[in-house]
C-alpha cells in the first residue's frame, strides 16, 4: 500500500484498508520500541514541526517519533519566534521550510491552513490541528487506542461529550467512527453542538447518530465516552465561554449510570471535565491514549516517507 508523499489533512481521506494498514504499522512500531530496538528507518531525513498554536502532546509525541525513527527534527514551537510575527503568509513560510526538510508537521489556528500548506509544499504535510477544523493524527491515535483497549473496533457505540462545535478532534474522529461502523451519540450543551455541516455530511455517508443533552442515558448505552475540553481560545466572546464552562463533568457518580466496562477517552489537556478521582478507574484510558500517540506518529512518518 503506497502512502509515500501523501499529505495527512483530515478524517475523511482514508479507505478502511488504509486505516487498517496505519493501525498495523503503529502496532509494529510499538512492539519494536518496547523491545528496545534502536530504529533507523528514517535515517538521513529531517522533519519540521511548525506549531503556530500551543501544544504539548502533539508536538512532543511527533518529536519523540522523529527521534525514535532515526530522523532529525527542526522545530518552531512558538509563532512569536518566526517570521509570521512579521506578517509572513503561511504559504511563504511553508515554501521556505519545504526546502529544508522531508516532511512538515504543522499546527495553525486557521481552519483550512493545512490544505494551504499542502498546496504550497512539495513534501508531505501532516496536519497537527487547523483551528476548529480537523485533527486527523489525534483521531488516528484515538482509533488505535480504541482497538487496543477493546481488542477490536466496529459495531460499538461512542458518546462524544463536550465541546463538539470547536473541538477539532471529534470533527475528524466522527468520520472514522462512521467508516468503521460505530454508532455515535453527540452529547453537548446546545451552544456547543457538532456543526450542522458535519452532522449532515456524516449522515449522508450513512452514520448512525443520536443527538442528546441526556448524558446519563448516553453513557448507559456506550462502550466509549470521548470527552473534550471547552475550547476557550475559539470563543469570540469570553462571556459565552463562561456560560458553558463546567457544564459537564465526568466523575464517579456519573459513571454509576454508565455501561459496565466503559472506556473513557480524552485527547487532553483536561481542565475540569474529568474529575481526578476517575484517573484510577480501570477504563480511564486517556494517558494510555496520549502514549499511543507516539507510535501512531512513528507509523505516519514511516508511511509518508516510504520508509516504513
138 makes contact with ligand NCD (CB under 6 A) = yes
> How many residues bind ligand NCD, per CB under 6 A?
11
b/e 95-112 (16+ beta carbons within 10 angstroms → b)? eebbeebbbbbbbbbeee
**Contacts with ligand NCD in 10-69 (CB under 6 A)?**
57-58
Count the Cβ atoms, other than its own, within 10 Å of residue 276: 9
* Residue whose CB is less far from ligand NCD, 98 or 163: 163
267 makes contact with ligand NCD (CB under 6 A) = yes
Between the alpha carbon of residue 66 and those of residues 26, 49, 302, the distances in Å are 14, 10, 9
Q: Tell me whether residue 169 is one of the annotated catalytic residues.
A: no
268 makes contact with ligand NCD (CB under 6 A) = yes
* Residue whose CB is less far from ligand NCD, 20 or 231: 231
Q: Tell me whether residue 57 is one of the annotated catalytic residues.
A: yes
* Residue whose CB is less far from ligand NCD, 78 or 88: 78
Torsional class of 125: left (φ above 0), alpha (ψ -120 to 50), beta (otherwise): beta
Q: Tell me whether residue 266 is one of the annotated catalytic residues.
A: no
* Residue whose CB is less far from ligand NCD, 104 or 140: 140
CB of 59 to ligand NCD, least distance (A): 9
Q: Tell me whether residue 107 is one of the annotated catalytic residues.
A: yes
Locate 78 and state its grid cell: 512558538
CB of 132 to ligand NCD, least distance (A): 9
Task: Output phi, psi for 275, to 5 deg.
Answer: -65, 145
Residue pair 250/256 in contact (Cβ under 8 Å)? The answer is no
Q: Tell me whether residue 145 is one of the annotated catalytic residues.
A: no
* Residue whose CB is less far from ligand NCD, 64 or 267: 267
Quick one: which of 173, 255, 187, 254 has its CA closest to 218?
187
**C-alpha span between 125 and 281 (Å, rounded):** 37
Residue from the set 68, 147, 148, 168 that interacts with ligand NCD by CB under 6 A = 168
283 makes contact with ligand NCD (CB under 6 A) = no
The residue from 59, 68, 107, 307 that is catalytic is: 107
Strand-by-strand arrangement of the 103-108 sheet: 72-76, 46-51, 103-108, 125-130
- Residues 6 or more apart whose CB falls under 8 angstroms from that of 279 comprise 287
Count the Cβ atoms, other than its own, within 10 Å of residue 37: 11
135 makes contact with ligand NCD (CB under 6 A) = yes
Site string for ligand NCD, 101-130 (x = CB under 6 A): ----------------------------x-
Q: What is the contact surface with ligand NCD in residues (CB under 6 A)?
A: 57-58, 129, 135, 138, 168-169, 229, 231, 267-268
Which of the residues are catalytic? 57-58, 86, 107, 135
Amino acid at each position: 500500500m503506497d502512502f509515500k508523499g501523501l499529505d495527512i489533512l483530515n478524517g475523511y481521506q482514508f479507505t478502511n484498508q488504509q486505516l487498517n494498514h496505519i493501525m498495523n504499522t503503529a502496532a509494529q512500531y510499538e512492539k519494536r520500541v518496547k523491545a528496545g530496538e534502536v530504529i533507523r528507518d528514517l535515517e538521513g531525513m529531517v522533519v519540521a514541526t511548525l506549531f503556530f498554536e500551543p501544544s504539548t502532546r502533539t508536538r512532543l509525541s511527533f518529536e519523540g517519533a522523529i527521534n525514535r525513527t532515526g530522523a532529525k527534527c527542526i522545530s518552531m514551537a512558538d509563532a512569536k519566534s518566526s517570521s509570521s510575527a512579521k506578517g509572513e503568509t503561511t504559504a511563504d513560510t511553508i515554501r521556505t521550510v519545504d526546502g529544508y526538510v522531508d516532511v512538515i508537521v504543522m499546527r495553525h489556528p486557521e481552519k483550512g491552513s493545512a490544505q494551504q500548506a499542502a498546496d504550497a509544499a512539495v513534501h508531505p504535510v501532516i496536519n497537527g490541528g487547523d483551528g476548529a477544523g480537523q485533527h486527523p493524527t489525534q483521531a488516528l491515535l484515538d482509533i488505535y487506542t480504541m482497538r487496543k483497549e477493546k481488542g477490536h473496533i466496529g459495531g460499538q457505540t461512542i458518546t462524544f461529550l463536550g465541546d463538539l462545535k470547536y473541538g477539532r478532534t471529534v470533527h475528524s474522529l466522527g468520520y472514522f467512527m462512521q467508516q468503521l461502523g460505530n454508532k455515535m451519540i453527540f452529547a453537548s450543551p446546545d451552544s456547543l453542538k457538532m456543526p450542522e455541516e458535519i452532522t449532515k455530511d456524516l449522515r449522508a455517508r450513512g452514520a448512525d447518530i443520536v443527538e442528546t443533552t441526556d448524558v446519563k442515558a448516553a453513557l448507559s448505552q456506550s462502550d466509549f465516552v470521548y470527552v473534550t475540553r471547552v475550547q476557550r481560545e475559539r470563543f469570540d466572546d469570553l462571556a459565552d465561554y463562561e456560560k458553558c464552562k463546567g457544564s459537564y463533568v465526568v466523575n464517579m457518580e456519573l459513571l454509576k449510570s454508565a455501561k459496565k466496562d466503559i472506556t473513557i477517552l480524552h485527547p487532553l489537556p483536561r481542565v475540569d471535565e474529568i474529575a481526578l478521582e476517575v484517573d484510577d478507574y480501570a477504563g480511564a484510558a486517556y494517558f494510555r491514549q496520549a502514549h499511543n500517540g507516539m507510535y501512531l506518529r512513528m507509523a505516519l512518518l514511516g508511511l509518508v516517507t516510504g520508509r516504513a
